[in-house]
Amino acid sequence: IGEEIISILNRIDGRGYKAYLDLKGSYDFNYFTLFIDHVQRDPFASPSLLRVEIPDHSFPRELYQNKTRKIALEDYISRAFAEGIEKRVKGRKGSGKSGILRIDQGRQEVMERSCVNISPRVLEIRFELGLPARGRRIMGSEAQKLLTRVLPEIVSCSCFYGNLPAREIARHVQGYEDAEHIRQQLVKEGLVAFIATGSILPRESGISPKPLPRAVAFRSPDTITVSLETTDGNLVQGMGIPEGVTLIVGGGYHGKSTLLQAVELGVYNHLPGDGRELVITREDAVKIRAEDGRRIEKVDVSSFIHHPPGVGDTSDFSTENASGSTSQAANIIEALEAGSKLLLFDEDTSATNFMIRDERMQRLVNKDKEPITPFIDRVGELYHDQGVSTVLVMGGSGDYFQEADTVIMMDHYQPRDVTRDARNIAREMPINRKAEAPGKFHYQKRHPRPESIQPYKGQRLKLDSRGISTLMIGALMVDLSSVEQLVESSQTRAISYALYQLARNYPHKNSSVTVKNVLDDLDEEINRNGLDYLAPPGRKNPHNLARPRQYEIAAALNRLRSCKMNI
Q: Single out the segment in contact with Mg ion by CB under 5 A; choices: 92-100, 221-229, 257-265, 367-375.
A: 257-265
Q: Please tell me whether residue 187 binds ligand ADP under the rule CB under 6 A.
A: no
Q: Which C-beta is closer to Mg ion: that of 255 or that of 542? A: 255
Cα separation, 384 vs 400, whole angstroms: 16
Question: In whole angstroms, how close is the CB of 410 to Mg ion at the nearest point?
Answer: 9
Q: Which C-beta is closer to ligand ADP: that of 12 or that of 248? A: 248
Q: Which C-beta is closer to ligand ADP: that of 20 or that of 413? A: 413
Taking CA atoms, 220 is separated from 106, 238, 275, 414, in Å, by 30, 5, 15, 8
DSSP conformation letters of 448-515: E-GGGTGGGTTS---EEEETTTEEEETTEEEE-TT-TT---HHHHHHHHHHHHHHHHH--S--TT--H
Question: In whole angstroms, how close is the CB of 389 to ligand ADP at the nearest point?
Answer: 21
Among 40, 257, 325, 373, binds Mg ion (CB under 5 A): 257
- Tell me 372's DSSP state: B
Cα separation, 463 vs 441, whole angstroms: 38
Question: Residue type for 245, please?
Answer: V
Cα separation, 181 vs 280, whole angstroms: 10
Among 130, 238, 255, 398, binds ligand ADP (CB under 6 A): 255
Q: Specify whether the CB–CB gap between 520 and 514 falls below 8 A.
A: no
Question: In whole angstroms, how close is the CB of 249 to Mg ion at the nearest point?
Answer: 11
Among 220, 258, 465, 550, binds ligand ADP (CB under 6 A): 258
Q: Which C-beta is closer to ligand ADP: that of 251 or that of 438? A: 251
Cα separation, 408 vs 565, whole angstroms: 40
Cα separation, 505 vs 495, whole angstroms: 15
Q: Which C-beta is closer to ligand ADP: that of 411 or that of 525? A: 411
Question: In whole angstroms, how close is the CB of 350 to Mg ion at the nearest point?
Answer: 11
Q: Please tell me whether residue 415 binds ligand ADP under the rule CB under 6 A.
A: no
Q: Please tell me whether residue 261 binds Mg ion under the rule CB under 5 A.
A: no
Q: Which C-beta is closer to Mg ion: that of 333 or that of 410? A: 410
Among 313, 320, 348, 359, binds Mg ion (CB under 5 A): 348
Binding site partner of 202, from Mg ion, ligand ADP, none, Cβ cut-off 5-8 A by kind? ligand ADP
Q: In what order do the strands lie in the sheet with 342-346?
A: 285-288, 342-346, 389-393, 245-249, 406-411, 414-417
Q: Residues touching ligand ADP: how many (CB under 6 A)?
A: 15
- Map the footprint of ligand ADP across residues 85-124, applying CB under 6 A: none
Q: Specify whether the CB–CB gap between 70 and 110 falls below 8 A.
A: no
Helix (H, G, I), strand (E, B) or coil at 516: helix
Cα separation, 525 vs 527, whole angstroms: 5
Q: Please tell me whether residue 256 binds ligand ADP under the rule CB under 6 A.
A: yes
Report long-range pairs for 36-42 (Cβ below 8 Å, ≥24 apart): 37/540, 37/541, 39/131, 40/97, 40/130, 40/131, 41/17, 42/17, 42/96, 42/133, 42/136
Cα separation, 500 vs 404, whole angstroms: 42
Cα separation, 286 vs 29, whole angstroms: 47
Among 215, 437, 476, 477, binds ligand ADP (CB under 6 A): 215
Question: In whole angstroms, how close is the CB of 262 to ligand ADP at the nearest point?
Answer: 9
Q: Single out the segment in contact with Mg ion by CB under 5 A; choices: 228-236, 248-256, 354-362, 409-417.
A: 248-256
Q: Which C-beta is closer to ligand ADP: that of 201 or that of 290? A: 201
Q: Please tell me whether residue 251 binds Mg ion under the rule CB under 5 A.
A: no
- Map the footprint of ligand ADP across residues 326-385, applying CB under 6 A: none
DSSP conformation letters of 158-214: HS-GGGS-HHHHHHHHHHHHHHHHHHHHHHHHTEEEEEETT----BSSSS--SBPTT
Among 91, 162, 233, 252, binds ligand ADP (CB under 6 A): 252
Helix (H, G, I), strand (E, B) or coil at 119: coil
Question: In whole angstroms, how close is the CB of 423 to ligand ADP at the nearest point?
Answer: 22
Q: Please tell me whether residue 447 binds ligand ADP under the rule CB under 6 A.
A: no
Among 257, 303, 419, 558, binds ligand ADP (CB under 6 A): 257
Q: In terms of DSSP bridges, do strands 463-466 and 389-393 run parallel, antiparallel, or are they unpaired?
A: unpaired
Among 45, 216, 361, 365, binds ligand ADP (CB under 6 A): 216
Q: Which C-beta is closer to Mg ion: that of 120 or that of 251? A: 251
Question: In whole angstroms, how close is the CB of 394 to Mg ion at the nearest point?
Answer: 10
Smallest Cα–Cα separation from 475: which of 560, 548, 552, 554? 560
Binding site partner of 254, from Mg ion, ligand ADP, none, Cβ cut-off 5-8 A by kind? ligand ADP
Q: Please tell me whether residue 413 binds ligand ADP under the rule CB under 6 A.
A: yes
Q: Please tell me whether residue 86 binds Mg ion under the rule CB under 5 A.
A: no
Q: x/- binding map, residues 144-183, to ligand ADP, per CB under 6 A?
A: ----------------------------------------
What's the sign of the alpha-carbon dihedral 252, 217, 193, 270?
A: positive
Q: Please tell me whether residue 551 binds ligand ADP under the rule CB under 6 A.
A: no
Q: Rule CB under 5 A: which residues touch Mg ion?
A: 256-257, 348
Residues that bind ligand ADP (CB under 6 A): 201-202, 212, 215-216, 250, 252-258, 410, 413
